[in-house]
Amino acid sequence: MNLAALLTSAGINIAVCVILFSLYSILRKQPSNVNVYFGRRISIATRRSDPFCLDRFVPSASWLLKAWRTKEEDLLAVGGLDSVVFIRMVVFSLRIFSIAAVVCVFIVLPVNYHGQKMHHQHIPLQSLEVFTILNVQEGSKWLWTHCLALYIITFSACVLLYFEYKTITKMRLAHITASSSNPSYFTVVVRAIPWSAEESYSDSVRKFFTKYHASSYLSHQMVYRSGKIQKLMSDAGKVCKILKDASVDQTRKPDLFQCGFCGGATDSFKILSNEMESVRGKSSLIDDGVGGRKKVCAAAFVFFKTRYAAVVTSQVLQSSNPMLWVTDMAPEPNDVYWSNLWIPYGQLWIRKIATLLAAIAFMLVFLIPVTFVQGLTQLEFLQQAFPFLRGLLKKKIISQLVTGYLPSVVLILAFYSVPPVMMLFSTAEGCISRSGRKKSACFKVLYFTIWNVFFVNIFTGSLIRQLSVFSSVKDIPAQLANAVPAQAKFFMTYVLSSGWASLACELMQIYPLLCNYFRRFILLKDGYNDTLTFPYHTEIPRVLLFGFVGFTCSILVPLILPFLLVYFVLAYLIYRNQILNVYIPKYESGGQFWPMMHNTVIVSLILMQIIALGVFGLRRSPIASGFTIPLLIFTLLFNEYCRQRFHPIFRNHVSEILMEMDRKDEQSGRMEEVYEQLHSAYCQSPVTPDDSFNSGHVNHHEDGDSIQDPENVNPGKEPSQVNPTWDVTFDRAESSQK
């Protein structure tokens, strides 16, 4: 592949992107698509009727401008801290790769290009290899430029990382201070309540906490597991809701989506009181008055009088048997994953190990069945399976299309199955919060992607051969140094095609769009009405993967950097647009995704340095190798320092801050108000445990979080982000379009 071919490919991709973006700018203006492209907006504002005009069919770039101009404060108000952290990940990548691009294009690229005495062809006809480090001669004196670039990139990355971590830590603390009415700060989840024959779980909890935490204990609420009849009830409720859905006005407000079980609009079922624990007695099965029987679990939410007391109780070892009376801070009410609260605590450690092993196995053997299916899409097999296609397949152009595209379509479809599968693993792991589950899935998808895109492509061959590379530790740098530049072509086209295309898909929301059209024009029903939460577990790994590829390739294959920069610029605009318009933040992790970014960047830097060591070794430049080792040590020390300085804030609550909040509330007399809210904050709807397995279907954006699912949102409560600043930005956006 020469430079001209690469540029042609880039041109085609740019054209495709421009077309898709224009299409998006038209589609978003159609009233029928408002459910798809303005999911967040319709959830908080009444829709206005839009007159039919020609303007609707002219592509415009106003959405880009809008996404560009929105301030971080607005973004924080609209999308929550997590989305700001995500955008900051993109911005960090933009900054560091701008620096890297300048350094590598102006210093490293000329050195590579003139690395060997040869007759240079006309530049566009040059092979791509001429631009990589493979073109530099052994023992070349110019390798110090690579070493210098390594130093500049590492130090700028560390400086940027440090200040980002510092800012995000501050934002997290500010977020905690700002969300002072959050009931989760007063609440502790107690699991593994010991079973006793004499008294109910509820009595045990009351006894334990009045004995040991008398001064701060407020009340508690048991967690129930629904029985068989309850399950039927819940199914009936669902059917009822679907029937109602079909007959509702199209322009209804989102609070009609409320579940009927906890004070919603339907009154055909009696409300299940969540003060069920007032029914006392020795029985662990409680009649809920409708014939269903709920089983009390060995878990409870315990409410405390102050935030500090709750934090203290959650962190101190309660019992002399560490597997009893296990306390943790409760997630936010919207964030609770009820089905997993039922899991006996003693199972958790074994579940964690099992899912970890399963995820690793899935990661390692993923490509085996995929390769097999890809083999099945060969021409001969298709002709045997579908004899009627034989005539068609004999045409040259069709056969080329089939052999060229079908295997990669199979691969892409297989890759789409990964996030739901990982989400399933994370569910089985037993996280009690949705944000925790998403974070855990995010880790798994990240490892999966880096392994299956980066390493598997570098060390092509069977699984055993791939793993055998790692069995000989000291050869790894040299192996990597050989393999990465050799795969330069793959990585560049991967960024061009998969990177840019994934952004266009994200913008177009193809699956919801198709659903919308299907429902509207074929079923003649109301349009697509799922509201989506931001799919951090698919988008963060993608951004991190491109960062990883960027760092490892920057010095070896500097040509990749401009393409990456374009990717990150587009990502910046598109993700901001999506956060502003499409996704609804239903729960917050409070910036917990940043440490993942930090660690991935550090790992990328270290891998970059190890590969550089291998390169300098192969090119016989002991001085450059000698200078790389201190850099490696510096990076590790820097990481350790950040771990000490910032990471505790992401693991624990700071008592100083919580105490200030407590004091302020006590002085202003707001505490009583907060206590009243607490009692109704955690409302458990009757859900079948099987619901947790609904998330395994193809659309990876949903991850089982759709509002239709009764267990997803805390029923009886509106989405928490009803924000006064929002209507202004919405109006501004509309007017700028006209």
Residues that bind a copy of itself (CB under 8 A): 169, 173, 212, 311-312, 315-323, 349-350, 353, 468, 470-474, 637, 640-641, 644-649, 652-657, 659
Of 308 and 567, CB closest to a copy of itself: 308
Q: Closer CB to a copy of itself, residue 283 or residue 655?
A: 655
Q: Which amino acid is at 406?
A: L
306 vs 427 by CB, closer to a copy of itself: 306
Q: And the tokens for 438?
A: 């998403």
Whether residue 181 contacts residue 166, with contact meaning beta carbons closer than 8 Å, is answered with no
**Shortest distance, position 215 Cβ to a copy of itself, whole Å:** 9
CA distance 83 to 89: 10
Closer residue to a copy of itself in complex, CB, 209/534: 209
Smallest gap, in angstroms, from Cβ of residue 412 to a copy of itself?
Answer: 34
Could you tell me the CA-to-CA distances from 23 to 26, 59, 158, 395 in Å, in that order?
A: 5, 7, 40, 32
Residue with tokens 């793993």: 467
Cα 98 to Cα 565: distance, rounded to the nearest angstrom: 7
- Output 251 or 321, the one with its CB closest to a copy of itself: 321
Is the distance from CB of 283 to CB of 210 less than 8 angstroms?
A: no
**Could you tell me the smallest distance in angstroms from the CB atom of residue 660 to a copy of itself?**
9
Q: How far is the CB of 124 from a copy of itself (least distance, A)?
A: 45
For the chain, what is the largest distance between any 2 Cα atoms, rounded to a whole number of angstroms?
92
Lookup: tokens for 572: 């910046």
Query: Which residue, 170 or 732, is less far from a copy of itself as judged by CB?
Result: 170
The H or E element that residue 9 is part of is helix 3-27
Q: Write down the least CB distance from residue 324 to a copy of itself, Å.
A: 10
In the bound state with a copy of itself, the residue whose beta carbon lies nearer, of 134 and 649, is 649
Cα dihedral angle (454, 455, 459, 465), rounded to 10 degrees? Answer: -150
CB of 167 to a copy of itself, least distance (A): 14
Instruction: State in angstroms the smallest separation of the CB of 319 from a copy of itself.
Output: 6
State the nearest-atom distance from the C-beta of 650 to a copy of itself, in Å.
10
3-state secondary structure of 301: strand
Query: Please, are residues 272 and 221 in contact by the beta-carbon 8 Å criterion?
Result: no
Contact 166, 86 (CB under 8 A): no
- Count other Cβ atoms within 10 Å, centred on residue 322: 10
Q: How far is the CB of 346 from a copy of itself (least distance, A)?
A: 9
Q: Is 194 helix (H, G, I), strand (E, B) or coil?
A: coil
Q: Which CA distances in Å does 704 have to 40, 531, 598, 693, 709?
A: 17, 11, 28, 8, 8
Interatomic CA distance for residues 304 and 298, integer angstroms: 19
**DSSP letter (8 states) at residue 642:** H
Residue 295: φ, ψ to 5°: -95, 130
Place of tokens 């709807």: 685
Q: Which residues sit opposite 287 in a β-bridge?
A: 293
Q: Distance between CA atoms of 618 and 616, rounded to whole angstroms?
A: 5
Tell me phi and psi for residue 98, to 5 degrees: -65, -50
Q: Minimum distance from CB of 602 to a copy of itself (Å)?
A: 15
Q: Mapped to the 3 state alphabet, what secondary structure does 626-637 carry?
A: HHHHHHHHHHHH
Rounded CA separation 96/108 (Å) = 16
Using the minimum distance from each CB to a copy of itself, give the nearer residue, 405 or 470. Answer: 470
Considering the complex, state which of residue 315 and residue 737 has its C-beta at the smaller distance from a copy of itself.
Answer: 315
- Burial class, 428, CB count within 10 angstroms (exposed 0-12 / middle 13-18 / buried 19+): middle
Q: Which two tokens stand for residue 578?
A: 């999506």
Nearer to a copy of itself, 470 or 518 (CB): 470
Minimum CB distance to a copy of itself smaller for 47 or for 351: 351
User: H helices within 221-306, ranges in order?
Assistant: 228-246
**Nearest-10 crossing angle of helices 143-178, 655-668:** 30
CB of 719 to a copy of itself, least distance (A): 30
Residue number with CB closer to a copy of itself (160 or 354): 354
Please report, in angstroms and rounded to a whole number, the separation of the first and last CA atoms in the chain: 46
For the CB of residue 311, give the shortest distance to a copy of itself in the complex, in Å: 6
CA dist 141 to 11, 115, 618, Å? Answer: 37, 10, 14
SS3 342: coil
- Residue 345 CB, shortest distance to a copy of itself, in Å, is 10
For residue 622, the minimal CB distance to a copy of itself (Å) is: 18
Would you state the torsion angle of the CA atoms of residues 250, 253, 255, 259, taken in this order, to the nearest 10 degrees? Answer: 0
Nearer to a copy of itself by C-beta: 324 or 492? 324
Residues 113 and 133: their CA atoms lie apart, in Å, by 9
Q: Which is nearer to a copy of itself, 253 or 645 (CB)?
A: 645
Report the nearest approach of a copy of itself to the CB of residue 720 (Å).
25
Q: Measured from the CB atom, is 472 or 735 closer to a copy of itself? A: 472
Rounded-to-integer distance, Cα 326 and Cα 191, Å = 5
- Inter-residue contact 406 to 492 (CB < 8 Å): no
Taking the complex as a whole, the smallest distance from the CB of residue 628 to a copy of itself amounts, in Å, to 18
For a copy of itself, the closer CB: 150 or 312: 312
Question: Minimum distance between the CB of residue 211 and a copy of itself, rounded to whole angstroms?
Answer: 8
Residue with Cβ nearer a copy of itself (665 or 702): 665
Specify the DSSP class assigned to residue 188.
Answer: E
